[in-house]
Amino acid sequence: MKIAIIGGGPAGMMCAIKAAENHEVFLYEKNEKLGKKLFITGKGRCNLTNYCDEREFLKNIVRNKNFMYSSIYSLSPFTTYYYFEELGLPLKVERGNRVFPASDKSSDVIKIYEKKLRERDVKIKLNSEIKSIKKDKDFFILNDREKYDKIVIATGGLSYKLTGSTGDGYKFAKKFNHKVVEPVPGLIGINLYNGFNLAGLTLKNVELKVIKDKKIISREFGELLFTHRGISGPIVLTTSSKINRLKDFEIYLDLKPALNNEKLDNRILRDFCENKNKNIENVMRLLLPRDLISYVLENAEIEKEKKSNQITKEEREKLVKTIKNFKLKFESLEDINRAIITSGGVDVVDIDPKTMESKIVKGLYFIGEVLDVDALTGGFNIQIANSTGYNCGINL
């Protein structure tokens, strides 16, 4: 059987490797090399997977986790880890069970894919953009020329357009009457209205909370970075994927999550008592980063020149409340082209999760980021690509 796979990212490459065990496989890539987006992931180190079991993996999927059951049990994170090590790629596990190549080079991961593709005699077609797919009875025709028995769409999403992710897969899906869930950015920075002049400031051990209809719908603890237009960093990226389809919510920053209100009040009172004649702005440096203090005092409506011994109990209570609930005025998510992943894509309702085949068009398959499946940061999204590609490959 003659099969064409469109897209040379991890999903497409893994699918080609498995499918070529039984079929003649052609892998089309519009770029001059395979794995162009994979090359820049994890800041060039490639967070290949997460060293966890299937249940833990599924907890980290944001959209359509049930769809992933068959794929993740076909190729689990543990199996992925040992699969690549057995192919000659030494790996290491870092904080949060993130898996990286021991060399810290994403190029080494791509070399392993390429080596296996060559071993399986996959015909790799670089600089080959697919502009049209047509169905003619039992065949698919690419670019009005090449005939194939089956077609696999592995073209990725919309983020990082320079790597070739320009939404081609959505166009092909719609042509064959598939619904495409609106693509929005996932794992991305957040723009704010606050007008902070805090670019470059990093806060550790803080908590970012999202509240909608008076209920906390997201709570992330860890590191946050202020940018020129807003905030980024690990907890922001995670939060962005949880709110990218929400409206009318509020974001708050707990600057001292390790202290409850009473303990924080006692700490502030002690600092004030030990520094009675100092300006509150200077005393607050014992508790908060210097650049942040003026904004906190402004929100608490306390003059920064005021002496510590002049602060009333009511002002102190307001200061505690501000530190524990520092409001961030949400403007928007950053542009999708800057997103680590695309949220949304081909609606999985019309895809068979056991084979990745279209329920609408026989012989047509969709895998990887082109699907409406995405996960949190930590190697989970590349695992989705590998697992759906593997699942598709063995079922072709």
Residue 17's H or E segment, with its range, is helix 10-19
- Number of domains comprising the chain: 2
3 state SS of 87: coil
Residue 215's H or E segment, with its range, is strand 215-226
Contact 74, 387 (CB under 8 A): yes
DSSP label of 276? T
Question: Got the DSSP string for 281-310?
Answer: HHHGGGTS-HHHHHHHHHHTT--TTSBGGG
| Last residue in a domain, options 333, 363, 381 | 333
3 state SS of 338: helix
3 state SS of 125: strand
Q: pLDDT tens digits for the chain (396 residues)?
A: 999 999 999 999 999 999 999 999 999 999 999 999 999 998 899 999 999 999 999 999 999 999 999 999 999 999 999 999 999 999 999 999 999 999 999 999 999 999 999 999 999 999 999 999 999 989 999 999 999 999 999 999 988 777 777 889 999 999 999 999 999 999 999 999 998 999 999 999 999 999 999 999 999 999 999 999 999 999 999 999 999 999 999 999 999 999 999 999 999 999 999 999 999 999 999 999 999 999 999 999 999 999 999 999 999 999 999 999 999 999 999 999 999 999 999 999 999 999 999 999 999 999 999 999 999 999 999 999 999 999 999 999
Burial 214-240 (b: 16+ CB within 10 A, else e): eeeebbbebebbbbebbbbbbbbbbbb
Residue 330 dihedral angles phi and psi, to the nearest 5°: -65, 130
Do 165 and 121 belong to one domain?
yes
3 state SS of 360: coil
Per-residue pLDDT at 261: 96
Do 71 and 123 belong to one domain?
yes
**Domain CATH for 391:** 3.50.50.60
Do 102 and 168 belong to one domain?
yes
Do 291 and 388 belong to one domain?
no
Q: Which two tokens stand for residue 278?
A: 């100092």
Do 240 and 308 belong to one domain?
yes
Do 322 and 216 belong to one domain?
yes
Question: Pairing mode, if any, of strands 150-153 and 364-366?
Answer: parallel
Per-residue pLDDT at 160: 75
CA–CA gap between residue 139 and residue 136 (Å, rounded): 5
Do 323 and 347 belong to one domain?
no
Do 201 and 180 belong to one domain?
no
Per-residue pLDDT at 50: 98
pTM of the predicted protein model? 0.93
Do 265 and 378 belong to one domain?
no
Do 261 and 326 belong to one domain?
yes
Residue appearing with tokens 């303990």: 263
CA distances from 202 to 223, 226, 242, 296, 361 (A): 7, 6, 22, 16, 50
| Last residue in a domain, options 313, 333, 353 | 333
The alpha helices in 75-181, defined as continuous H runs, are 77-86, 106-119, 168-175
| Last residue in a domain, options 316, 333, 350 | 333
CA–CA gap between residue 371 and residue 107 (Å, rounded): 25
Name every residue whose Cβ is closer than 8 Å to that of residue 310 and which is 6 or more positions away in sequence. none
Do 21 and 123 belong to one domain?
yes
Name every residue whose Cβ is closer than 8 Å to that of residue 222 and which is 6 or more positions away in sequence. 204, 205, 206, 233, 234, 235
Range of the domain at 114: 2-185+342-395
Do 160 and 297 belong to one domain?
no
Question: Pairing mode, if any, of strands 215-226 and 202-212?
Answer: antiparallel
Tell me which residue of 160, 140, 106 sits closest to 28, measured CA to CA. 140
